[in-house]
Amino acid sequence: MNQMNQFERQHLIQSIAYCGLVCGMCHLRTECDGCKNTAKQCARSSVCFQRICCIQRNLAGCWDCTDFPCGADMHGPNHDIRIRAFVSFIRDEGAERLVDCLLRNEARGIHYGYKLDYDGKGSEEEVIQILKTGCLD
């Protein structure tokens, strides 16, 4: 894993959106701090189903929801399954482990981001297997 201080790692963990995206690793991170931030919030924040639902249910994220996967918006059948896989991974292994795996994979050339290495896979299990390659050490 690249040398990242504990503060930067914690920032990435805290940047995980209600839907499971890691906003601190997004290509838009200079324009937006994610849906949980109040300063430079995501442009979709006011209409995002997952954000609104989690706030109404007082959940840290979809990984805490008994209705996951709900099939709505970001977790719908027409959306990339990577997001559902990230939520499943957080539910099973924790947000800290997700970030650690993503960072280790990044150092190995497996990149996080829109239309990059975790997108366009055939199943949640395939995405989770890619994530876990970074955590085998």
For 59-65, the CB contacts below 8 A with 24+ separation are 59/18, 60/18, 61/16, 61/17, 61/18, 61/19, 61/20, 61/87, 61/90, 62/18, 62/19, 62/20, 62/87, 63/20, 63/87, 63/88, 63/90, 63/91, 63/95, 64/91
- Residue spans of the domains in the chain: they are 6-133
- Predicted pLDDT of residue 130: 94
- Predicted pLDDT of residue 2: 45
Tens-place pLDDT, residues 22-80? 988 888 777 777 777 766 666 666 778 888 899 999 999 999 999 888 877 766 777 77
Q: What is the mean pLDDT of the chain?
A: 85
Q: What is the mean pLDDT of residues 124-133?
A: 93
Across 2-6, 66-70, 80-84, 108-112, least confident range: 2-6
